[in-house]
Amino acid sequence: MTVQAKKLWLDGKMLDWKDGTTHVLTHTLHYGVGVFEGIRCYKTTDGRSAIFRLPEHVRRLRHSAYAVYLKVPYSDEQISQAILDVLHANELAEAYIRPLVFLGAGTMGLYPDKNPTQVMIAAWSWGAYLGEEGLKNGIRVRVSSYIRPHVNSFMTKAKVCGGYVNSYLAKMEAKRDGYDEALFLDTEGYVCEASGENVFLVRDGVIKTPPLTAALPGITRDSVMTLARDRGLSVVETRFSRDEIYMADEFFMTGTAAELTPVRELDGRAIGTGKPGPITQSLQDAYFRAVKGADERHRAWLTYL
């Protein structure tokens, strides 16, 4: 899907969408040292619109930047305000928001001491990331032949542009093989995360998710863990192998873009009944209620427009 909106924010200015351009010697274009966020804004049940967990996303953006020696030249308050301004300027009641911190043109090479740190914020309408059908009936996944980089090869807890080459390779491989999404193992062979989602399995009523070793500390992951515990479900952060998923009752993925997507098959093995399970469905419902402001326990997660 081609993305398009009316306006975007670049280095403190609101520009027409077509003017959101940059020089071809932009450092990040060559070396991938940039960081970004993915945030969603939803229509709430009371007819307003709200951004889901905005402060957490802005903080993660700053932390990601810090991990790769970038300094965001705006305060968290300024970034948050700019995000609100972008939504207003585009008149978007529901949107996916993409802030990007990148190194502009100046010097080349791996010691970019004279390059400006630039910030861009765009927003557009983005439906179900893994498809409406997948959201409802579950997707088909394969374990990738690519592995997640070692924690010391990469800042795996930072959302770094260059890190997505690994995700891209895995996603391309999975799609070309007829699957919807790829699942990464870590350097020791344990389940890590998907190309753009954290993962959870359910077996005998217990929910398991890999610990945050080489996986991104997902904000959706954190929200879903909270929603599960609210419902008295036990959530354990523990390592598991791919065959534990084959033998699980349920398996699902979480991410801002993917929301909570059930997985019905891994590597040609149907998971559980081969349909989204009851815990997956109840957590998906809980997640959508929370983002839409229908769960009063978690209104604090919302920043209203």
The least CB distance from residue 169 to ligand PPE, in Å, is: 13
The Cα 138–Cα 303 span in angstroms is 30
34 binds ligand PPE (CB under 6 A): no
The least CB distance from residue 132 to ligand PPE, in Å, is: 17
276 binds ligand PPE (CB under 6 A): no
Q: Which is nearer to ligand PPE, 258 or 290 (CB)?
A: 258
Of residues 237 through 266, those in contact with ligand PPE by CB under 6 A are: 254-258
3-state percent helix, strand, coil for the chain, nearest multiple of 5: 30, 30, 40
Q: How far is CA 154 from CA 123, 128, 144, 213, 222, in A?
A: 28, 29, 18, 12, 22
Could you count the other beta carbons within 10 Å of the beta carbon of residue 217?
Answer: 15
Of residues 99 through 138, those in contact with ligand PPE by CB under 6 A are: none
The least CB distance from residue 114 to ligand PPE, in Å, is: 30
The least CB distance from residue 216 to ligand PPE, in Å, is: 4
Burial of 176 (0-12, 13-18, 19+ CB in 10 A): exposed
Q: Is 275 a catalytic residue?
A: no
295 binds ligand PPE (CB under 6 A): no
| Cβ-closest position to ligand PPE | 38
Tokens of 290: 């929370």
Q: Please pick, from the candidates 180, 181, 186, 197, the single residue that binds ligand PPE as defined by CB under 6 A.
A: 197
Of residues 157 through 176, those in contact with ligand PPE by CB under 6 A are: 167
Name the site residues for ligand PPE (rule: CB under 6 A): 38, 167, 193, 196-198, 216, 218-221, 254-258
